[in-house]
Amino acid sequence: MIPVTKPYLPSREKLDRYIDGIYERQWLTNDGPLVRELTRRLEEYLGVENLLLVCNGTLALQIAYRALGISGQALPVEAITTPFTFLATASSLKWEGVEPVFVDIDAGTWCLDPALIEAAITPHTRAIVPVHVFGNACEVEAIDEIGHRHGLKVVYDASHAFGVTYKGESLLKHGDAATLSFHATKLFHTIEGGAIFFKRKGDLERARQMINFGITGPETIEEIGINAKMNEFQAAMGLCVLDEIEENMAARQVAWDLYMTAMGDRVVAQRRAAFVTNNYAYVPVVLESETQVSSLIAQLNTQGIMPRRYFSPSLDATQLYGPGECCVSQDIAKRILCLPLYSGVPASAIVNVILDSFDGNSL
């Protein structure tokens, strides 16, 4: 079977050496030396500061909301966000008592459309939570300017944007904070895990207290916190994956290029923002209709190939998260398909099945 993705597994020998060190030190969690080393190395690799490692990407979002004062308030609070995203973007807001208000996406980039944001702002709006969908940059200058002008915090869900640069600098530098997911299915992973990048060091320090129950000393508790710390075994995996990230990305690029070249104008690809790099984390394509999507999935499944309708459904259509009627998002969500992509994926075999489906007019 060829799944839509596979976790990248680095050198077992190197991982074993890290694990041997963990056993020797018997320091498993609570800001251990490997977590500190991974923090330093990621800041260096990504070109950022004020990085905080946490145990998963959903808590990364929730801690960012708390540290920035978006959540944890008694008054009704809203945040403007996109419905074209993984459900954790919206569910993390709901868990924090913040009502997601969905604004539609741009039909080409599939990211939050900044031209529609201001019409959705109300007296209860405290934040904008855009998503760099499939690692494609949002219109960060426009969104950051809207946030500044209206006194709103901007938190970018950058779960797909590991290593992506915009105008020569890390895309993660935009907004008051940006979060990453290090889930096993991501380009870079720590099995489970995540990170938050804060613009201001004071926000980082507050968040650092929050992820350790609010404890600031042996007998000092300064606020209500939660346990969101990354452990040493997660950090060990992250260090090994980071050592091999360039080889991993290069292998994915070969497959990505093969897909795009072979399919050409038979599908609609995401329009990449200007001045943004590609980390080759996903191969999303849009077909002419939902019927075509179902037909292609059936064709691929007969060959043991398992693509995914990602993201589908559009979250505004579920009636679970927040208000909004986003026609562009709903349309794209019905016609999108993510093709298998990982280091070592047999892309040529997958392309042959796809092209046979097109040529056979079965779509």
* pLDDT-derived band at 98, boundaries 50, 70, 90: very high
In a 10 Å sphere around its CB, with 0-12 CB exposed, 13-18 middle and 19+ buried, how is residue 265 labelled?
Answer: exposed
Average pLDDT over residues 94-98: 97
Q: What is the mean pLDDT of residues 207-218?
A: 93
Q: What is the pLDDT of residue 268?
A: 96
- pLDDT tens sequence across 283-342: 999 999 999 999 999 999 999 999 999 999 999 999 898 777 899 999 999 999 999 999
Q: What is the DSSP letter of 276?
A: B
342: which residues sit within 8 A by CB, 6+ positions away? 5, 6, 8, 252
Digit-coded pLDDT (tens) for 180-208: 999 999 999 999 999 999 999 999 999 99
Prediction pTM value: 0.96
Q: Kindly tell me if the per-residue pLDDT of 359 is higher than 90.
A: no
Asked whether 105 and 152 are in contact (CB, 8 A), the reply is no
Report the pLDDT averaged over residues 8-17: 97
As a whole-number percent, the residues of the chain with pLDDT over 70 amount to 99
CA distances 66 to 85, 89, 102, 136, 207, Å, are 21, 15, 21, 26, 8
Mean pLDDT within 158-182: 98
Quote the strand ranges of 220-263, DSSP E.
220-221
Angle ∠(129,134,140) on CA atoms, nearest 5: 45
- Compute the average pLDDT of residues 26-47: 98
CA distance to 30, 195, 329, per residue, from 57 (Å): 18, 7, 23
Domain layout of the chain by residue ranges: 12-242, 245-359
Q: Tell me what pLDDT residue 361 has.
A: 56
pLDDT of 362 above 70: no
Q: Does domain 245-359 have CATH number 3.40.50.300?
A: no
CATH number of this structure's domain 12-242: 3.40.640.10
